[in-house]
Amino acid sequence: MKVVLFCGGLGTRLREHSEEIPKPLVNIGRRPIVWHLMRYYAHFGHKDFVLCLGYRGDMIREYFVKYRECLTNDFVLSEGGRKIELLSSDIEDWRITFVDTGLHSSIAERLMRVRRHLEGEDAFLANYADALTDMPLDRQIADFAASDAVVSFVAVPPATSFHGVLGSENGTVTEFGPLRKMGLWINGGFFCMRREIFDHIEKGDELVEKPFDRLIARRKLRVYRYDGFWQQMDTFKDKITYDRMEGRGDCPWKLWQR
């Protein structure tokens, strides 16, 4: 299945880290988060990507155009440097389509602008490109395929650091704690979609608002709940969390290393 990655956001809450680098290129260890995400999809056999570019899309293009596997993989150098033998490879068999979808476009508008690159696809995958998980993607796809839903999305519990009012009486708080205790589930940004999604998007729509409301009315929106590892890259604090995990070698999203 093709994988549509929405890489065009401004990433304003990561400006503390960098004013210039687009969110998908924020590094986790030696590679940007978009590479980690693509490697996750490739692990499950999905290696045909469509990148919806916007803010600093030129930097994302440049990263992949100049990508040299010998700089991030082990290799053997011989013949005075004239011959390089890679001991491992990562993106050699990937196919990546780069599409400028506008600087201020909504997610729905970005999806509509890559529609022609999805011709012939009965279904495809899509992602916000700002979170990683160890969710068994093949199970989500199987659950989606067995249904007649137009869209399936992964739902995850809120981050444990989020707290809220769990109970109150006449303005007096009676219970306060992690939002997880409320049994809430949030959109994790990992989607399976059928081509019919384009029939439910109108001009000016945001993807998960009006189009999803239309799908709900027809009982065509499905959820796949997952309570395992899921971590967003939304703020500088999230960047630090990822860096610490990488430093400890605690990287549950790297299913390809298991």
CA dihedral 182, 188, 192, 194 (to 10 degrees): 80
Residue type, position 115, single letter:
R
CATH of the domain at 38: 3.90.550.10
- SS3 category, 127: strand
What is the full per-residue pLDDT of the chain (258 aa) written as tens digits? 999 999 987 655 555 555 678 889 999 988 999 999 999 999 999 999 999 999 899 999 999 998 877 666 677 888 777 787 776 777 889 999 999 999 889 999 999 999 999 999 999 999 999 999 999 999 999 999 999 999 999 999 987 666 777 778 888 888 887 777 677 899 999 999 999 999 999 998 999 999 999 999 999 999 999 999 999 998 888 999 999 999 999 999 999 998
Per-residue confidence (pLDDT) for residue 148, from 0 to 100: 97
- Whether the CB-CB separation of 226 and 180 falls below 8 Å is answered with no
Assigned domain for 174 exists? no
Per-residue confidence (pLDDT) for residue 11, from 0 to 100: 57
- Whether the CB-CB separation of 35 and 82 falls below 8 Å is answered with no
Per-residue confidence (pLDDT) for residue 71, from 0 to 100: 65
Phi, psi of 72 (to 5 degrees): -130, 5
Assigned domain for 22 exists? yes
Per-residue confidence (pLDDT) for residue 83, from 0 to 100: 80
Return the ∠ at Cα 40 (arms to 131 and 240), rounded to 5°: 40
- As for how many domains the chain has, the answer is 1
Pick from 41, 50, 46, 40: which is nearest to 8 by CA? 50
Domain that holds residue 62: 2-157+186-257
Assigned domain for 233 exists? yes
| Prediction pTM value | 0.88
Q: Give the Å distances, CA to CA, from 224 to 12, 49, 250.
A: 29, 22, 25
Assigned domain for 173 exists? no
| d(C-alpha 107, C-alpha 98), whole Å | 16
CB atoms within 10 A of CB 22: 25
Assigned domain for 162 exists? no
11, two tokens: 């990433």
* Strand bridging mode 163-169 / 172-178: antiparallel
Pick from 182, 189, 190, 132: which is nearest to 162 by CA? 182
Assigned domain for 127 exists? yes
| d(C-alpha 122, C-alpha 193), whole Å | 9
Assigned domain for 26 exists? yes
Per-residue confidence (pLDDT) for residue 12, from 0 to 100: 52
Assigned domain for 168 exists? no
